Structure 1
Amino acid sequence: MNSHPRILIVEDEPIVAADLKVRLDLLGCQVVGSAPSGEKALTLAGQLLPDLVLMDIRLEGAMDGIETAQQVRQRWRLPVVYLTAYADDTTLQRAKVTEPFGYILKPFEDRELKTVIEMALYKHQAEGRLQKSEEKFSKAFQASPTIMTIVSLKDRRYIEVNRAFEQYTGYTRDEVVGQTTSEIELWANPQELEQAFRKLITEGSYRDVEARFRSKNAEPHIARLSAEIIEFGGERCILTVAEDITDRKRTEEELNQHRDHLEEMVKERTAELEAFYRAMIGREERVIELKEEVNRLCAELNRPPAYPPVWRRDTPGGGAPGGPGKV
């Protein structure tokens, strides 16, 4: 057992309370007080803040043990273990609401008492560590500039959203928490939502999934999402992290359009150059034909050629004048 846990006894029978104190002393516990009624128990609990409260369910007075335990849990979050000689279903159902850390049925053995107290203290410490961890997570969650949401895996209702989400979507936390992802209608394409959810269920997480969204004022957005299944508040949830890439995608689209425009201009200019080149080749061929015709006429007149021999580009072996392509 933990070193000398401080325990408050709430028992309206003096003999039982005294016997319980002796047993606890022998187990190494420190009994810091004993209260015969619910009212007295609340006073001592607030003053002493014990590590654990042993509470008899049936107490004399205006408050029974269950009502007293409920006040103790609400005010100070102290762990309560019930002592009772009755275990009927109605009583147990009422007791469950107060989130007790254990039950001890009278009469009980010292070993049973020791085990229940140890388990209750361990559970309380574990819950304390978990609460601190969740508080740290909550602070980081809210302070993060990245869009983040926590959604229940069971019914896909929003449990928590951070301030970045509010700024991004235009929805306040109060408008979103408790609503389902379908009811809020953030996803522009419900099919993308279902595909992402199926991927999450199948693989346990997903990374860098692009999806389209609508803000509260119907402004379109594109986000890159990553999600995984976590434990939060005692239930399985979906933690989603989103990066707004609307501006990036818009810039990429503009660059793509500009590139397409440049490529089209290159095609047009290339076609113009090819047409011009073909026209120039045609003119050159016509000049050659005219020169050849003049030279033939000169030959008929027994005159020397008016032009030096010319060569054609398409003549086999065509090259410099005087070569195989010489005319």
Structure 2
Amino acid sequence: MLQIHATTISAIVKHGRKPHMREVIIDTNDREASCLSEGKFASVFAQCPDAMIIASLADGHIMDANAAFVERTGLALDEVIGKTPTELDLWAVPGIGPKVLQQLQTGNIHNLEIPFRRKNGETFSGLMSAQPFDQSSTPAVLVIVRDMGVSVFCVRAG
């Protein structure tokens, strides 16, 4: 069954002495699909047990982070927004941040094991994947880090 979703905007305008009705019909299928897709992404982003951030592809400044990121790093959301991972001292290997950002500007990263640093100074091994995308016409990158210590613990417990 074909379903058409549209919004109609009507106006009566005078052309000379005669009124004319003008209508614009806007197909909302694409917009609704986009909203549904954004809603699904927001849900996954919020509920994912892996640490996730959305950062500017141009300079690495963090635009958003999920609850797992806050939990894993010990940093509050308001501490990370607008800062880079380098400014937050998240990289346990000095100088790796700019290299990671440079690699992302030419492609994506899949399952790269990198040591990270928590706010309390403790380090952990993370499996990082990152994919560039457009966030409201702004080049951005979605970064996902799986804490390998948590994964190893789960395997041993199972």
- Cα distance in 2 between the residues matched to 1:233 and 1:246: 35
Separation in 2 of the partners of 1:243 and 1:199? 19
Instruction: Please report the RMSD computed on the Cα atoms of aligned residues, expressed in angstroms.
Output: 2.9
Determine the C-alpha separation between the residues in 2 that align with 1:206 and 1:143.
Answer: 22
Question: Aligned pair count?
Answer: 147
**Superposed displacement of residue 141, structure 1:** 0.7
Q: Out of 194, 211, 220, which is 2:123 matched to?
A: 220
Contact 2:57 2:105 in 1 (8 A): no
Structure with more of its chain in strand, by fraction: 2
Instruction: State the SS of the aligned residue for 1:142.
Output: helix
Question: Structure 2 vs 1, CA of residues 22 and 130 (structure 1 numbering), >3 Å: closer, same or farther?
Answer: farther
- Displacement, 1:127? 4.6
Tell me if 1:236 matches 2:139.
yes
Alignment partner, residue 208 of structure 1:
111
What secondary structure does 2:37 align onto? helix
- Structure with greater contact order relative to length (CA < 8 Å, sep ≥ 6): 2
Counterpart of 2:89 in structure 1 is: 185
For structure 1, the 5+ residue unaligned runs are 10-16, 30-116, 250-327
Determine the structure 2 residue equivalent to 1:163: 67
* TM-score between both structures, scaled by the size of structure 1: 0.40
Counterpart among 84, 103, 110 of residue 199 in structure 1:
103
Amino acid at match of 2:9: R
Which residue of the partner structure matches residue 6 of structure 1? 9
CA distance 1:248–1:147, change in 2 (3 Å) = closer
- Between the aligned partners of 1:158 and 1:207, the Cα distance in structure 2 is 20
Letter of the structure 2 residue corresponding to residue 19 of structure 1: K
Larger radius of gyration: 1
Q: Name the % identity.
A: 27
Q: Which residue of 2 aligns with 1:19?
A: 14
| TM-score, reference length from structure 2 | 0.77
- 1:122-133 alignment runs, 5 A limit: 126-133=30-37
